[in-house]
Structure 1
Amino acid sequence: MITHQTSRCLLLTALFVTGAVTATGCSAGASGSTLDNARSKGTLRVALTEANPPWNFLDGNNKPAGYDVDVARELAKRLGIGKVEFVGSDFGSFIEGVRAERFDIVISGQTITAEREKQVGFSRPYEVNGVSVFTRTGNTSVTGLASLKGRTIAVTEGTTQAEYARTKIPGARIKTYKNATLALTDVGQGRADAALVSKFQGAYLADKNNLRVKATGALLETEVNGMTFRKGQKDFKAKVDKALNDMITDGTLSTISRRWLGGLDMARELRNLHAGTAS
């Protein structure tokens, strides 16, 4: 039986082939509101690396844990969505995955940049993150940015740290990795001179994995991170931003960050950022 929907799809497909329209609207991935779809399914699909502690990682029971995970669960609850499905991905695939609707939102410390905003939508900032230079313990030749010229630099592929290394360190030989653990491990074993990594993450990984690395010099930059979703989702963005604002105001974000980030109050960091006083 040819249904009304089938007839419509056949007609639109024919129009597409002849150039009368730009899309059929009948593909398996076609959808409307991200918020409506998630609420209808009762599940918010959240992408993260699962390999960047203390932000997000797999715990001893192979379950997602960390700052991003707790924030995601709280966000889903405030959006009226009963379940969170965590989807493992990486920085090099986040934007493509959002646009292809493999997940609803990325909550994994993506830095808000003008280039990314051309492709995806961003929430208001939900974390501030400083980037440090990590070197092998005992290495005294690397003391900061100026001393990285011409050296081998380890970075996580698809991150702003990778772009920073390519554009701001003259003559650098860039080595990319799937996650910061691998990058820092190579630095500790002498296969790279330095790694550009979040100050929280690098310190956490070094301690947890007994890596022979240390932070050196001043912070290279402070990154402002947001949650990523498909462009044009105005209602979704409004609801996500409201939930985050409420989490900052009522102390929930402070509680989560203190648990995972060595006592740091992320809500205070974000308020300072908004006031223009963040370092």
Structure 2
Amino acid sequence: MGGDGAAAVTYAEAKSSGKIKVGFANEAPWAFLDEKGELTGYAPTVARAVLKKLGINEVEGVVTDFDGLIDGVRAKNYAFVAAGMFINPKRCESSDFAIPDYRVGSAFLVPKGNPRDITRFEDITRANVRIATLGGAVENGYAESSGVPSNLIEPMAKQDDILRAVRNNDVYGGAMLDVTASWLVKNNPDANLEVTSSFQFSAKPDVGTFNFRLDDDQFREDFNRELRALHESGEWLKLVEPFGLTAANEPDPSRTTEQYCTA
């Protein structure tokens, strides 16, 4: 594959050709196409820095619906997933994760002033308002665990769909990651929306990273080595700050991927 100039879907081929394909879901600020059609965001930026150390200088993105990303990497549509994906036990059954790369909380995207005072999932039931979520994202499980009736939760395919629905009063608000909600408000100042305070749903924080095929151990180990070095040098923070992540989003270095893979 190195000879025909195509981006590779395996580590060995990528090391030979210097080009690699990554899967992403086109969700800003995690991994998305900018106005020029260039792949950018937190995950591709960090991935490029890591891959450069491994001798792979060209990254090509393959847009995939978020809940199809793991199936796509297993089908070798791309070499790994760079999309800001949480580590959880279910995903660990069918894929392998890199070391924890960031942690986030949840928040609600709501009308300015938050007139119905939605700050936790339990508030949705109390106020009897409809809230949009991203299909396949963790907030759907959080709502269910909090006893929110399913008719009050409306999963949507894209975060821009959620923004539009809240802005147009089709739903009261949107439940999403704090970093994502802040990005949407910052980039849509005329939408008259705000973000509620970030919160952790459970004692175990939401931690995300890059996702690999099962048993693609050499690639994952080499990637982990360089990713760890980015965190230890402080370079990681410089890379991610333009996308709304801060020192507060640094994961606890004492917690391992294996710990997050267990319930």
Superposed CA offset, 1:244-277 (max 9, x none): 1111122220210223326x236x722xx1247x
How many residues were matched structurally? 239
Deviation at 1:218, TM superposition (A): 4.8
2:192 is the alignment partner of 1:212: yes
Please identify the structure whose Cα radius of gyration is greater: 1
Q: What secondary structure does 1:47 align onto?
A: strand
Question: What is the aligned counterpart of 2:129 among 122, 145, 151?
Answer: 151
1:133 Cα deviation after fit: 1.7
Q: Quote how far apart the aligned CAs of 1:69 are.
A: 2.0
User: 1:56 is matched with which residue?
Assistant: 31
Give the partner amino acid of 1:85.
Answer: E
- Could you report, residue by residue, the CA deviation over 1:56-92 in whole angstroms, capped at 9, with x for unpaired residues? 2222212122222211211211222131111111211
> So what's the TM-score if we normalise by structure 1?
0.78
| Residue from 196, 203, 206 that aligns with 1:223 | 206
Matched, 1:110 2:123: no
Q: Does 1:38 align with 2:19?
A: no
Contact 2:46 2:240 in 1 (8 A): no
2:184 and 2:224 mapped to 1: Cα distance? 30
> Where in structure 1 do 4 or more consecutive aligned residues deviate above 6 Å?
none
Comparing 103-112 with 127-136, which one deviates more in the overlay? 127-136
Alignment of 1:189-268 (within 5 A): 189-210=168-189, 211-221=191-201, 222-261=205-244, 264-265=246-247
The CA distance in 1 between the partners of 2:206 and 2:155, in whole Å, is 19
Question: Do residues 160 (structure 1) and 138 (structure 2) align?
Answer: yes
Q: What letter corresponds to residue 184 of structure 1 in structure 2?
A: L
1:229/1:185 CA distance change after superposition, 3 Å: same
Does the 8 Å contact 2:31/2:84 carry over to 1? no
Distance between the aligned counterparts of 1:196 and 1:136, measured in 2? 13
Alpha-carbon contact 2:105-2:198 (below 8 Å) kept: no
Q: TM-score if structure 2 supplies the norm length?
A: 0.83
The worse-fitting range, judged by mean Cα deviation, of 116-125 and 143-152 is: 143-152
**Cα gap change, 1:217/1:256 in structure 2, threshold over 3 Å: closer, same or farther?**
closer
Q: Which has the higher contact order (CA 8 A, sep 6+)?
A: 2
Percent identical among aligned pairs is 23
Aligned partners of 1:220 and 1:245: how far apart in 2?
A: 24
Change (3 A) 1:218 1:258: closer
Consecutive unaligned residues in structure 1, runs of 5 or more: 1-32
Letter in 1 for 2:157: K
CA contact (8 A) 2:22 2:81 kept: yes
Q: CA RMSD in A?
A: 2.1
Does the aligned pair in 2 maintain the 1:143–1:217 contact within 8 Å?
A: no
